[in-house]
Amino acid sequence: MAEKIVIIGSGPAGWTAAIYAARANLNPIVYEGEPSNIMIPGGQLMYTTEVENYPGFPAGIQGTEMMGLFRKQSQRFDTQIYTEDITSVDFSSHPFHLKSSENNEVEALTVIIATGARANWLNLPNEQRLAHSGGGVSACAICDGALPAYRDKVLVVVGGGDSAIEEGLYLTKFASKVIIVHRRDKLRASPIMQERAKANSKIEFKWNSIVIDVLGDKIISGVRSQNTFTKEESDLNCGGLFIAIGHTPNTSFLAGHVELDEKGFIITPKPWRTATSVEGVFAAGDVMDPYYKQAVTAAGTGCMAALEAERWLTHKGMV
């Protein structure tokens, strides 16, 4: 017997979708994913120490605690949860067919894809250690830049595209200085973003350079950079490091079954809707949002996807 709704992925989008679907008596099943070296159930907030910009938590909250509360709330309404990945899908016929990492198969009348997107990192040992421990390394300036730990500090941003420049400009509100480290001698960012950055007195550029190490024990104290031409190394003292080299959506398991953009994000053909190119399949959170990438927007699209799935099922006479 086919399930009414299967939600692939956890995090704010997945858990919010589950809460709405469960309260609508759709008996959702959530495949929250398996822990791996690049992602764990709960998504990127599981790597975030202090969350201060999510409404309802005036004193802030740890990312892991927040995701635990989201998960617990979905369980209150009897959501079934499996700590497995969905490794393959078949949307060519209805009900849809899904296979999990434990070789379990499930049929679904509707599917919500909420697998998120993972930040691209430099993959340096100290970078990862300090990022996971809250030691001053982050992949989201808008999420973390306003935290007291970064205020009035010299901050380093790695990247050269629009995201890096946007994050650098945002950080100038709090930092004493922002140093943008870029591997080339010119930015990839749009001309208007470049002009804004170069006109900002708080921003400096370190051209033709890559970060090869992150310095510091419990808290970052600096970064070691290397010139891409001369190979000369130098140290920059700083109080924070922000990696802004893009995100990779977790969509490889879809294997062409839904329409993706050139970067792999799921396309939702109608603006302000979560329906994908496949009728009955919906997408929520960072997997379909290359622009905002915030917990609160992910939760919002999770709500939207669950409501759309419920209405689709009702329209089709399946509930």
Per-residue model confidence as pLDDT tens digits over 203-228: 999 999 999 999 999 999 999 999 99
List 78, 85, 90, 143, catalytic entry: 143
The lowest-confidence range among 35-44, 72-81, 129-138 is 35-44
Q: What is the pLDDT of residue 157?
A: 98
140 is catalytic: yes
Cis geometry, peptide bond prior to residue 95 (ω within 30 degrees of 0): yes
213 is catalytic: no
pLDDT surpassing 90 at residue 149? yes
pTM for this prediction? 0.86
Which token pair is 136? 């001053």
pLDDT in tens, 107-148: 999 999 999 999 899 999 999 999 988 899 999 998 899 999
Question: What residue type is 2 in one-letter code?
Answer: A
Q: What is the pLDDT of residue 48?
A: 72
CA distance 311 to 152: 50
List 140, 238, 286, 289, catalytic entry: 140
pLDDT surpassing 90 at residue 45? no
Residues written for the chain: 319
Q: In this structure, are residues 82 and 32 in contact, taking their beta carbons and an 8 Å threshold?
A: yes
> C-alpha 106: how far from its chain's center?
26
Beta bridge partner(s), residue 178:
155, 203
229's CB contacts (< 8 A; 6+ apart) are 208
List 78, 90, 144, 235, catalytic entry: 144
280's CB contacts (< 8 A; 6+ apart) are 94, 96, 109, 110, 111, 309, 312
Q: What is the pLDDT of residue 38?
A: 66
| HSE-up of residue 285 (Cα within 13 Å, Cβ side) | 30
143 is catalytic: yes
Q: What is the pLDDT of residue 36?
A: 74
Predicted confidence band of residue 37 (pLDDT cuts 50, 70, 90): low
pLDDT surpassing 80 at residue 56? yes
> C-alpha 7: how far from its chain's center?
17
Q: Domains (ranges, CATH) in the chain?
A: 3-118+247-315 (3.50.50.60), 121-243 (3.50.50.60)
